[in-house]
Chain A
């Protein structure tokens, strides 16, 4: 399946990746087309009836007891934050 310019712009928007220019987008169209062409080899094989495999081991989820084990570490966590005020992370105003 070919990838179009619009597909790249759409993926870039969904992934919130800014593209500087049309040239940059065009370069990605080029790269991604070649990658998907390679990926398209998958289509050659019939996988009818094969169950998808998400994890390499057939293991199941372990459950954790419902206990509070964490303490307040806000100061340490916010030491690496770009912008905070009164314990809140700040972002440009969100309009609802």
Chain B
């Protein structure tokens, strides 16, 4: 049987506020345990929450970025359950009236086509603390520094049909939140955490199959692998005549499998009700318009512009707009050199290769976009050839000079375009290679095309790479073919 995979995601994004959603404690990552948990975060008696404007603004910005409706009124509710990392015995969240309504996110598929994923809603809530299970005299330690950090939970419709689409969706969300600057998007530190709902159904069937929820998957790669494992598991189960149970599962990256979470909670009953300590949040048109005015150009808008205005390929436009630092770098290079295709090639080629090799983020590149732009300009105005350009790039990367021009001068890499000088070098090479010349002249046209490479190499060598390769090629052909 042909199966179809159906995937919906709930993505928790930690918002990049300075202080917590309901208290003035810091949200900085990595502090000593419980040093950033104030009386409100600890749920001490009598203390009360006050909503952080920064968190509201960020949620609204996200909503506007996905063309969502922003309801005039939203409400905070309490989700009641007991857990050591949940200090008050309830999580303040939103249920019936979230801050962001229906919207949509455009994702880029592997074949460079685009697809729209519908967003059901996004809501604000507070993060929980962390339970540390290392041995504290046989006990669990609880650190509440993270408790109260603002989260935006983004809930999609079940619109994705493969693990790759799910990954593309998370990448698109990642791009949006980092473009907006509302999250650092650092998945390793838990700034983006995904709950994945997966089901399968026979191809052509309308109704959804029973889904399993895979909790807390924290990298693009793990999302893909967890889904692939889960899909395979469900199909095998169904083909063997079994049934998928609606349950929560955990993905174990070490074993590369999902497994059922022991259901200590026979049936969760969260008893949602409006939080009586917080009042309805009312956002008027003026506030929303003010937030709209702060929005930067978004990834999909940039992609369109790169493709349609700058004339880049769909693939290049997709890669270069995928993250804000990448797009900003590319645009800064372009601003200096003025040639989008060259800028795109250099950023995705030489620069990315170096960055990947040394595992450096583009934002920390040792070669600045201004340096790279100048280097490309020198290629474009024929000051240097491509080969010399790579040398200059390597020198800039290793901080052996502060600008392309300086390195070109210091190393004498300026391209030789003087025909007389090149002819002299060619004559010399021809004089020193009688055997090869004889062979060349005996060969037919097709073979000659291959054999000329030897002479070009010799001439380039003689010029220490500075001769203009096109000129060398043309003149060589003339001289060799003369006889």
Contact = CB atoms under 8 A, between A and B. Distances in A.
Q: Do A and B share a direct contact in the complex (Cβ within 8 angstroms)?
A: yes
Interface of A: 14, 16, 54-55, 59-70, 72-74, 77-78, 83, 85-96
A60 to B, nearest CB: 4
Contacts of A95: 262
Contacts of A85: 136-137, 139, 141
A61 B280 contact: yes
A88 B53 contact: no
Interface of B: 17-19, 23-26, 32-39, 42, 44, 50-56, 80, 82, 84, 131-133, 136-144, 261-262, 269, 271, 274, 276, 278-282
A59 B279 contact: yes
A77 B44 CA distance: 9
B53 A64 contact: yes
A67 B19 contact: yes
A70 B35 contact: no
Given A61-B279, A96-B133, A74 B56 contact: no
A77 B39 contact: yes
B437 to A, nearest CB: 76
Contacts, number: 121
B278 A61 contact: yes
Contacts of B35: 72, 74, 87
B279 A91 contact: no
Contacts of B82: 16
Max chain B Cβ within 10 angstroms of own Cβ: one of A92, A93, A94? A94
Contacts of B139: 83, 85, 90-93
Contact of A66 (B17, B32, B262): B17
Given A67-B24, A77-B37, A85-B136, A90 B280 contact: no
28 contacts: A55-B276, A60-B280, A60-B281, A61-B51, A61-B279, A61-B280, A62-B51, A63-B51, A64-B50, A66-B54, A67-B19, A68-B24, A69-B24, A70-B23, A70-B24, A70-B26, A70-B36, A72-B36, A78-B34, A86-B136, A87-B143, A88-B136, A88-B142, A90-B136, A90-B137, A91-B84, A91-B139, A96-B261
Nearest to B80: A14
B54 A89 contact: no
B53 A89 contact: no
Given A62-B50, A87-B32, A91-B84, A67 B278 contact: no
